[in-house]
Structure 1
């Protein structure tokens, strides 16, 4: 079906291109456009009229000229307030002193000149509330609206949730708990993304600043968060049909920054929060504890002004955020910190002692300082070289430090990870009017990103659990050492983009290319320090782990990726009230060299029936390709050059736990040398257990929409739209070495193993059982193993050489490996795997799908001079086969069972926002 639609769209585009002598481009989301007719008092066209636009803030000018039909059009205008002057020989000049223009908006303004020589001044009182030529689905927020809305944490990306068709990312945990217990809640996968737009994957959005890339392709999030003080406007585009924009099968968030002007203007701000208005957590209330201490301090300012009047301007922002925060550690520890002298602990528990697994233990609770700081600096220079040439230089830098634990509150102080994230970007944009009908825009950006996660202590990681659960899961044991996910990353990105725009009659033409080259080097140090698992406190005291893992080899993994994009687009004004847009885009990434046919045709229309254009009908359809997620590629492909050492009794272990005797046992680690005699026979390449499918492709979506917008009066606008989003080739993780279901199923196989099957023998009682003579099923000195349907973890029958271990399939797994029924069952089905010598073998495949249907209703109005309101409602349904790009199916042999409501499905969502300005007599406050 998708291939058929692709052919149909391609045929439509080619047919239109062949039918027109000239082709064109428009729907510029980064800039504003002004168009209209120049007419005399009899509505006759005035050709050759000169239209001059002067930006009120900077004095920068752009000019245009009406054609034989009296039609003029000025594109690629920076959003802001302008002064317009219209002149023609024999007619009085006409001036509009105040004309506001918004990014992504085409403003229609018909100019009527009168014979004579006197200058006539006209005040614009009826600026369009709706955009008759807009084809995208979304909204924009200007700086006045942004400043009026309270944002906890001052993150401008939170503004997207003002649109009802925006959903939070899968497994999101924002605003859960308080600073002292938030680490109890498992964090969402790093590649889950940050929000979903109209059913798109939460990791499939394109975030830009002034049109420049602002994405972290590894973590599926933004590279940098700009300060609210630097923002002039935020666009939230849920469905975009302009071929100029790519690298997103979801939506696009574009942030426009402020500029300096001919007057010096600035502001300073300061925010303060503490725990007094926070709710206490369930666990702290249960223990009779007060709220955890918390503070957040934010302060900074902005300043802009002229360096040379009407020619050169500057704008700068500095912002600082400080959180002298706390983390709560709640763990179960041995009463004696030196109970195992080989691995002494620094903490002494203060709770009431009791015996667990034969060891005196007690509860340990501590509030540790976990400070966080963030500093943001941004500078911008705008230069004008006459009316035809403008340059913009922009720089931003962010430095973030935060001390945080892993995903469990049982992580001791030494296991805390210091997370630092530094980013910077240098960007230049050149806008050059080459003639009355030709304009060129060139962009270049260099950006760098260096996130690091450094462990507080570099000794081997240890996790100590319990063979029995407790009331509070965070207090069933402890985690110590380098048990987190330490890593360092250095990313360098170069971006070149050029767009050529031409206008011929009713056609606006665009041709452009966007090239990015990315260099990334990541050092993932997880497991390089060694990691020991102890199922019980008794095992920890005795230094007898159940499992030991370590990675061997060079941890630095370099990646080179060149991202190519090119597009063709024509905007055809078929009639004054009918706009058709045809486009074709091509995307390719060298990291997936086999995926070369990513053609995305796009078609959209906007029709404003009636003479006053108070109603607009919009529709569009297109194919949109996403981008490669570097973290997933690194995990499945780049890391394949590493080796793994996994000692234990689980499926796929590279050796038995007794091999630790080679290095003197716990807490020592093996040499980081794959050729060393101590390790070379105990390791295997990670590529044996993780790989990329040879058919892996970039995900793409087929999007379509149909909507109607109506303006009532001067300030009320109502828009209703239907959105369809079908996403294909979604990535997911599959175990290609899963045991093949035997006749009758796994349960029947385990309860009554067939004779003459590998690993099945006759027990002394004459019935079949699994052979455990080499401890291949369970690490116990029992030769025979069976299973039943009881809820008992394990029990023995018989004695001596005739003893049989029986595991209950309805018992809980985990805990001690000798009594774990799940581990025993996985070992028992080993010979049902395609490769019995390996356990799980993960392969990244691109066969996931998702389907979204959404009905959006958006209303905005200025109900009075002091009251502005926006209401948004979405009725939607999302069905998919995969949650995130590393999700695994529950049944490897029946993917249809994965079909269900998506994690980001929200059937109903309503958002209400607005501002109310109080009278001056009440202080002039704004709510």
Structure 2
């Protein structure tokens, strides 16, 4: 059984599989008495009057605030207040109190009895309604989830204010004032559903509309590849991943960055369709993840998940060889703890999780040469080699020692093993370790009832070794994937008036991975005249019918630094709930790749009739080699939006919005990008071949493509309950959105045996803007690269030459 099942289900029948998941909880005296959540009577604090100058300043800031995200770590409680006759009650005070932190916010119902309490931190809430001459109204059990619009309609009766009507119930699960299609996965599901390898993202698969959901690692760091409603996937990225309200999407390929361990997660929400104007850039969907916050009570957890090979199947072995289970030891452990620093004011929550996994990689498909064949004696071999010079068989099937290639003999001595299985098969085993450490920290502080600050930090580092690059079958090259990630989010929420709330958010994300090959020995170190650029390692070597010495692409750097400033202003006025906002972000992306700089050699018997004889003579059938390249892209993105949820009728709401996005073209700090325009001649680099242009040439900007200023996206939805309370929800909507591409990865330079000056081949291209590199002889741009931006217009199809010494090929 190779798939990890939640180990708590195996405890009773497998002593070697153990799980410890201990919750430490200290209830308050009120909770002990009631057997439930602590009940607190909220009290609204006086609101400060704010001048129009400050409001104007906040409005200006909201415009200057791109990937415009909703205030994803918050929710809204809204509704109306009526008396027992059904008439609207204006002027009633409505107070929502977070039962965990005692944070409270108040609002006064308008002339139609409506209220809205926006940007509330997620958690369990109590709602209180009071008005002179009426009995008080209290409702507890309100679970405010990320992005939820919890509707609580209160009915108050005439009477004394000391009399209270209490209700214990959550808000209706069906939201009738939003046309978005979404699903929230709460803490109970996060902690109790079986998670393969404790990966939070695996829960995305239980959300309707998620069509594929896979984890990958191609550039040195984990990548989440998720598609929603049939969206694009390969190197495009159409899903917006967020963590505590800030970006958690890799700019290099638009994939999701790692998320914290489940013990640190409060909940997450997946929006799959019809999202509001405050969301943009990624057209397929949004994944909002919120980490836990501290409360007035101390909470803690300690856990360990252990798994070994006892339930696994035995691996395949050649006939006549005893079968065995592959060794496996996996320990995932950690702890979480949170509580108050200063009661009702300052709170903390911290967690740590570590993973130590030890597996063993086996391959037993290699056929190695016999002792005679290692000496060049093929007299007893099924395929007798012929002399490639005379095309006649070698005398007696023996290759003269003087003809054997010195580098091939060194490789054979150091890296080609002797058989250890029948029929000259060889089984290789290598350790396959995986190690990660991560930590989260969250601080919340309430300056006053009208002003709060939240800081969250997530850190992860890891190393994942790919023994023999996962496809080799003799001892050769191991590849280490090493990554580090930092997420910092700072949110300042300020209640300017009872109906005006502003939230400013700062985000920084750094996520970089590296691919490192070991050993650092090149073919040139083994007696060959072969030269490489970049970090050395063994070549990729394939001897057909015998073995493969596998080497995969490495690269010391791949990732980005991301900064963002976002501001959003929420205003409730009558039947309207307005939201204005925007964001400015800047990302510096690096993709340093060595490509196949080590050389790729194939021996298939085409020279002598025997593939191993070809190898001993040093005569490959094919050979290719790349030059490494370091690609850098810097890009800015900005957006602004206006949104209005207009309640036309108690059973019908209009969701109106408009959004504007601008993705500025990515630029190279060294201006190494290039464009191909048939028939054009470069003025910047006159020696360049016809058709290749560079930044500074007429019509060629630093970003190659022109900025698209026409990304206006209107939104319209009209959710409601036509049949009244309890009737099915109807939520038709129409939306337009734009999508900005992630930065593409590096280009490659290739040389082909036998001659680096081989004549060019031709390949059809649909666009004159293409990926490529420039020969070193060009004075302006010695290693130019370019890419075509998604959505750019091409004047006509064209064919472009591909030079064997520097031509562009598919990105890796």
Within a 5 Å distance, the mapping from 1:355-504 to structure 2 comes to 362-405=424-467, 408-410=470-472, 412-458=474-520, 459-460=522-523, 461-466=538-543, 476-480=546-550, 483-489=552-558, 491-504=560-573
Q: Deviations over 1:497-538 (max 9, x none)?
A: 111111111111111112221112332112334443433322
Superposition TM-score, scaled by structure 1 size: 0.63
Which among 69, 80, 97 is matched to residue 123 of structure 2?
80
Judging changes above 3 Å, is the alpha-carbon distance between structure 1 residues 54 and 561 closer, same or farther for their aligned structure 2 residues? same
Structure with more contact order per residue of length (Cα contacts < 8 Å, sep ≥ 6): 2
Aligned to 1:271: 305
Please tell me whether the aligned partners of residues 329 and 411 of structure 1 are also in contact (alpha carbons under 8 angstroms).
yes
Please tell me whether the aligned partners of residues 26 and 510 of structure 1 are also in contact (alpha carbons under 8 angstroms).
no
Aligned to 1:150: 194
Q: Does 1:195 align with 2:223?
A: no
Judging changes above 3 Å, is the alpha-carbon distance between structure 1 residues 190 and 450 closer, same or farther for their aligned structure 2 residues? closer
Which among 609, 618, 621 is matched to residue 731 of structure 2?
618
SS of aligned partner of 1:324: strand
Please tell me whether the aligned partners of residues 631 and 746 of structure 2 are also in contact (alpha carbons under 8 angstroms).
no
Q: Does 1:131 align with 2:243?
A: no
SS of aligned partner of 2:205: helix
Please tell me whether the aligned partners of residues 83 and 97 of structure 1 are also in contact (alpha carbons under 8 angstroms).
yes
Residue 80 (structure 1) shift: 1.4
Q: Deviations over 1:255-299 (max 9, x none)?
A: 111110001011111111112222345567996532211121111
Residue 412 (structure 1) shift: 4.2
Which among 738, 742, 747 is matched to residue 629 of structure 1?
742
In 1, Cα distance between equivalents of 2:290 and 2:146: 9
Superposition TM-score, scaled by structure 2 size: 0.71
Residue 327 (structure 1) shift: 1.4
Please tell me whether the aligned partners of residues 228 and 285 of structure 2 are also in contact (alpha carbons under 8 angstroms).
yes
Residue 335 (structure 1) shift: 4.8
In 1, Cα distance between equivalents of 2:802 and 2:641: 50
Q: Deviations over 1:43-89 (max 9, x none)?
A: 33322211111100011111111111121111111221112222223
Which among 609, 612, 615 is matched to residue 540 of structure 1?
615
Aligned to 1:215: 249
Judging changes above 3 Å, is the alpha-carbon distance between structure 1 residues 618 and 353 closer, same or farther for their aligned structure 2 residues? same
Aligned to 1:168: 212
SS of aligned partner of 1:645: strand
In 2, Cα distance between equivalents of 1:411 and 1:652: 34
Q: Does 1:523 align with 2:581?
A: no
Please tell me whether the aligned partners of residues 302 and 318 of structure 1 are also in contact (alpha carbons under 8 angstroms).
yes
In 1, Cα distance between equivalents of 2:798 and 2:473: 34
Q: Which moved more, 1:489-498 or 1:300-309?
A: 489-498
Residue 188 (structure 1) shift: 12
Residue 30 (structure 1) shift: 4.4
Q: Which moved more, 1:423-432 or 1:397-406?
A: 397-406
Judging changes above 3 Å, is the alpha-carbon distance between structure 1 residues 285 and 598 closer, same or farther for their aligned structure 2 residues? farther
In 2, Cα distance between equivalents of 1:286 and 1:422: 46
Within a 5 Å distance, the mapping from 1:14-413 to structure 2 comes to 30-113=73-156, 114-125=158-169, 127-168=171-212, 194-202=225-233, 203-281=237-315, 288-330=322-364, 331-335=366-370, 340-343=408-411, 344-351=413-420, 362-405=424-467, 408-410=470-472, 412-413=474-475
Please tell me whether the aligned partners of residues 646 and 653 of structure 2 are also in contact (alpha carbons under 8 angstroms).
yes
Judging changes above 3 Å, is the alpha-carbon distance between structure 1 residues 188 and 411 closer, same or farther for their aligned structure 2 residues? farther
SS of aligned partner of 2:191: helix
Residue 428 (structure 1) shift: 0.4
Within a 5 Å distance, the mapping from 1:881-920 to structure 2 comes to none
Which among 665, 687, 694 is matched to residue 591 of structure 1?
665
Please tell me whether the aligned partners of residues 224 and 258 of structure 2 are also in contact (alpha carbons under 8 angstroms).
no
Within a 5 Å distance, the mapping from 1:387-786 to structure 2 comes to 387-405=449-467, 408-410=470-472, 412-458=474-520, 459-460=522-523, 461-466=538-543, 476-480=546-550, 483-489=552-558, 491-535=560-604, 536-552=611-627, 555-591=629-665, 593-596=705-708, 597-630=710-743, 633-636=744-747, 643-648=749-754, 692-693=787-788, 696-698=789-791, 737=799
In 1, Cα distance between equivalents of 2:560 and 2:220: 21
Please tell me whether the aligned partners of residues 37 and 109 of structure 1 are also in contact (alpha carbons under 8 angstroms).
yes
Please tell me whether the aligned partners of residues 223 and 258 of structure 2 are also in contact (alpha carbons under 8 angstroms).
no
Judging changes above 3 Å, is the alpha-carbon distance between structure 1 residues 31 and 654 closer, same or farther for their aligned structure 2 residues? same
Please tell me whether the aligned partners of residues 275 and 292 of structure 1 are also in contact (alpha carbons under 8 angstroms).
yes
- Structure 2: where are the runs of 5+ without partners? 1-62, 375-405, 524-537, 605-610, 667-704, 762-773
SS of aligned partner of 2:539: strand
In 2, Cα distance between equivalents of 1:285 and 1:223: 44
SS of aligned partner of 2:230: coil
Within a 5 Å distance, the mapping from 1:830-849 to structure 2 comes to 835=801
Q: Which moved more, 1:158-167 or 1:345-354?
A: 345-354
Please tell me whether the aligned partners of residues 625 and 751 of structure 2 are also in contact (alpha carbons under 8 angstroms).
yes
Judging changes above 3 Å, is the alpha-carbon distance between structure 1 residues 126 and 157 closer, same or farther for their aligned structure 2 residues? closer
In 1, Cα distance between equivalents of 2:241 and 2:318: 39
In 2, Cα distance between equivalents of 1:26 and 1:334: 61
In 1, Cα distance between equivalents of 2:104 and 2:94: 10
Residue 147 (structure 1) shift: 1.1
SS of aligned partner of 1:521: strand
In 1, Cα distance between equivalents of 2:435 and 2:150: 43
Please tell me whether the aligned partners of residues 644 and 686 of structure 1 are also in contact (alpha carbons under 8 angstroms).
no
In 2, Cα distance between equivalents of 1:121 and 1:286: 80
Q: Deviations over 1:349-398 (max 9, x none)?
A: 324687xxxxxxx4321211111111110000011121111110011100
Q: Which moved more, 1:509-518 or 1:398-407?
A: 398-407
In 1, Cα distance between equivalents of 2:212 and 2:408: 45
SS of aligned partner of 2:562: strand
Q: Deviations over 1:578-632 (max 9, x none)?
A: 11112222223223552412222222121112331432111122223333222xx
In 2, Cα distance between equivalents of 1:444 and 1:133: 29
In 1, Cα distance between equivalents of 2:102 and 2:248: 29
In 1, Cα distance between equivalents of 2:738 and 2:322: 53
In 2, Cα distance between equivalents of 1:26 and 1:90: 43
Please tell me whether the aligned partners of residues 462 and 533 of structure 1 are also in contact (alpha carbons under 8 angstroms).
no
Q: Deviations over 1:824-874 (max 9, x none)?
A: xxxxxxxxxx74966996689xxxxxxxxxxxxxxxxxxxxxxxxxxxxxx
